[in-house]
Copies of this chain bind each other. A is one copy, B any other.
Amino acid sequence: MINIPKRGFETIEYESRLENIQRLMFESAMDVILLTTQVDIEYYTGFKTQFFQSPTRPWFVLIPSKGKPRAIIPVIGESGMRETWIDDIKTWMSPNPKDDGISLLTDSIKLFAKNYKCMGVSLGQESTIRMPQSDYEELKNNIPSIEIKDANLILREVRYTKSAAEVDKIRHVCQITSKGFIDLEGMLKVGLSERHNCQLFKQYLLALGVDDSPYLVSGSGRGGYGSIIMGPTDKLIEEGDIFIIDTGSVFDSYYCDFDRNYAFGSATDMAKKAYQTIFKATEKGFTECQVGNTTSDVFNAMNTVLQDGGAIGSTVGRLGHGLGLQLTEWPSNTANDNTILKPGVVLTLEPGMMYLPGKEMVHEENIVITEDGPEWLSIRANEELPIIR
């Protein structure tokens, strides 16, 4: 029986996150950071709700240079926020087209941004501001003497290394999902559609104990598939098809993100060889996942194998990425990324290659970096392409 990690975090974990970001804020001469996204808000407050799926209401959290975060949120979230470690909570009745929290937010920023006259906001790559652009512009107009700097670099830096408790949650969802994939080999059926096979898998993962599988994508085709982001469709699986399922399942807000490939009836030598190549690339990438190496070292190790194995191209633009509260997080395994690996960093290794025009083979595993080297979080895929007969 799998040991289920405790849900939530001790308060000390939030205190540590706050301490980390406040240290970086001090170095960047930032008085306050404005958070607007579900992930950033959950990370610093523990406020966990699916309600961000409704685009109607903005949610704000301010991290001051000293002291605990202040939540500025719609009344509908007040009782939930009161159950977190946050005690400084301002609310307004939202939706309010005339003033959806902007005046409350303005007052608080003015209060906090006194030392350096500087506010951090996520501006850079992979970030968005989750509030109407017109409200953001009004806010900036309300605080003309306060400089706005990009907080994206320091926010992602804090989230980059995972605590033991975070790694436990990711490992747990990786292990459950791995078990699902292993059993899936006996469940997949020729003659069922991609969609039908994926729905069976999603139901099975839920039964195994994931909270959800919000990302569950598949592709299939004779001798190989042409996309790894579009399905599942109603296409029926036939003998001779290769089928990929890629899943981001979740336990207590933390993701796994990996895939498995299956051939039906038979597979071409080209496909078998491509599978061996990407498997070997994962092995090589794994060995490079050492403290002090970089994401580009990991990329180069995998990419060499892919080139030697006859890759004629790729559509993905990278060979893996960070993983945690999001399906994909900073950094990226690319030639120029050069992010230094540290203990607690969780990555996907995702070598992929086009081996024939329009035919891709992509493999993915999840790992964590420790002082003693890398650890597989997912249960390693088959060394050879599984053939379902």
Write the residues of chain A forming the contact surface with B, with a CB cutoff of 8 angstroms: 7, 48-51, 53-57, 74-80, 83, 93-97, 100, 121-134, 136-137, 150, 152, 199, 202-203, 206-207, 211-212, 214-217, 226-230, 234, 248, 315-318, 321, 326-328, 332, 334, 358
Is there contact, CB below 8 Å, between B128 and A130? yes
Count of chain copies: 2
Once the chains are docked, how many angstroms separate the CA of A44 from the CA of B95? 27
Nearest residue in B to A152 (C-beta to C-beta)?
Answer: B132
Main secondary structure of the interface of A (DSSP, over half): loop
Instruction: Given A326-B55, A328-B56, verify A132-B125 contact (CB < 8 Å).
Output: yes
Instruction: Given A127-B133, A133-B123, verify A95-B56 contact (CB < 8 Å).
Output: no
A266 to chain B, nearest CB (A): 24
Once the chains are docked, how many angstroms separate the CA of A226 from the CA of B77? 10
Select one of B57, B133, B203, B317 contacting A206, CB under 8 A.
B203
A102 to chain B, nearest CB (A): 11
Other contacts beyond A128-B129, A129-B129: 5, CB < 8 A: A54-B327, A55-B126, A83-B230, A95-B125, A121-B133
Nearest residue in B to A122 (C-beta to C-beta)?
Answer: B133
Chain B residues within 8 Å of A150, by CB:
134
Is there contact, CB below 8 Å, between A203 and B207? yes
Is there contact, CB below 8 Å, between B321 and A230? no
